[in-house]
């Protein structure tokens, strides 16, 4: 039976460290500031934004939330982001995705100043990650958190280990592959057009599932003793709980994989809590850089 990698516990450690470091920064005259922008009434986005703002306040940050109507013109959103870029009290800017169809999300993301891009989506941060400049890059929060969980099992140096990342998104798959490369793993990115995906997955000492398909990765895809990082968060019907009820599952068939793997992240309680924790870490890092202080290492 695989070891469970407890994302809630690791996230709590990260937040505790952020809070302690933030207190020292505040005492020296700099309060880390996070601005979260949401456009429209998407219920899931509302929940995510509220939790991010709440966690920022718990860490002692200056927390600002801009809630805009769905019909907000693109130019107005650009102007808001540019104003936040100029605001010295704000160190991190997060624009919640998805945005309404009439807004060019790519343009909005590239408007965010790279030094305040705590989501790590600006082309400058993407380029730094891709070329191994991790010391000055902002890394997207979900891959960054996934790597911290992986390090708890495998350590920081992954030399000699084979990693397969299932999923090639700009938000998780590609940055995750770059982080694994930087840690000296031998990395393959797989996706929907990969030939014989199960056979490839079985070669992996480290298997990362980030495809957004409920329980797609079966137990017989997992190499015995492998470390499985399940990034997926999918809501599926749960009639056993009652009519209309749902439950959360990952991209991995958990019970099957758990019987084979050496270590695995559960859903919920694995990668999910790490995403907000790393957002707080990135915001603290930005504030430290703005204050001329060396950021902590997580």
Label residue 41 by pLDDT band (50, 70, 90): confident
Label residue 238 by pLDDT band (50, 70, 90): confident
Average pLDDT of the segment spanning 88-100: 96
Residues forming beta bridges with residue 92, ordered by sequence position: 34
Least confident of 93-107, 229-243, 274-288: 229-243
Residue 48, pLDDT above cutoff 90: no
Task: List CB contacts of 128: < 8 A, sequence separation 6 or more.
Answer: 134, 136, 137
* pLDDT above 90 as % of the chain: 92
Specify the residue for token string 């694994």: 180
- Which residues are known to be catalytic? 52, 96, 119
Mean pLDDT rounded to a whole number for the chain:
96
- Taking the C-alpha atoms of residue 25 and residue 286, their distance in angstroms, rounded to an integer, is 12
Q: What domains are defined for the chain?
A: 29-123 (3.40.50.10860), 141-273 (3.40.50.720)
Q: In this predicted model, what pLDDT tens digit does every residue of 98-112 receive, in sequence order?
A: 999 999 999 999 999
- Predicted confidence at residue 81, as pLDDT, reads 98
- Taking the C-alpha atoms of residue 17 and residue 24, their distance in angstroms, rounded to an integer, is 11
Q: In this predicted model, what pLDDT tens digit does every residue of 247-271 receive, in sequence order?
A: 999 999 999 999 999 999 999 999 9
- Taking the C-alpha atoms of residue 274 and residue 280, their distance in angstroms, rounded to an integer, is 10
Residue 33, pLDDT above cutoff 90: yes
């Amino acid at each position: 039976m695989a070891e469970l990698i407890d994302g809630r516990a690791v996230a709590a450690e990260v937040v505790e460290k952020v809070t302690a470091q933030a207190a020292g920064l505040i005492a020296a005259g700099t309060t880390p500031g996070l601005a979260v922008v949401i456009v429209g009434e998407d219920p899931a986005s509302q929940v995510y934004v509220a939790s991010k703002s709440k966690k920022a306040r718990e860490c002692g940050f200056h927390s600002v939330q801009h809630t805009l109507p769905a019909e907000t013109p693109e130019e107005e959103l650009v102007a808001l982001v540019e104003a936040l870029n100029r605001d010295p009290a704000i160190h991190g800017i997060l624009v919640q995705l998805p945005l309404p169809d009439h807004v060019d999300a790519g343009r909005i993301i590239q408007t965010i100043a790279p030094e305040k891009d705590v989501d790590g989506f600006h082309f400058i941060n993407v380029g730094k990650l891709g070329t191994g400049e991790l010391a000055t890059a902002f890394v997207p929060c979900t891959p960054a958190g996934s790597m911290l969980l992986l390090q708890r099992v495998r350590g920081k140096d992954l030399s000699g280990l084979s990693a397969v990342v299932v999923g090639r998104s700009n938000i998780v798959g590609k940055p995750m592959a770059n982080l694994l490369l930087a840690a000296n793993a031998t990395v393959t990115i797989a996706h929907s057009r990969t030939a014989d995906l199960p056979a490839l997955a079985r070669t992996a000492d480290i298997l990362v599932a980030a495809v957004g398909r409920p329980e797609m990765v079966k137990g017989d895809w997992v190499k015995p003793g492998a470390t499985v990082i399940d990034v997926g968060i999918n809501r599926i019907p749960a009639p056993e709980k009652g009519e209309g009820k749902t439950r959360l599952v990952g991209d991995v068939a958990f019970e099957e994989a758990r019987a084979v793997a050496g270590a695995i992240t559960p859903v919920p309680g694995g990668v999910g809590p790490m995403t907000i924790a790393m957002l707080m870490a990135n915001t603290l890092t930005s504030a430290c850089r703005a204050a001329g202080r060396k950021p902590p290492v997580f």
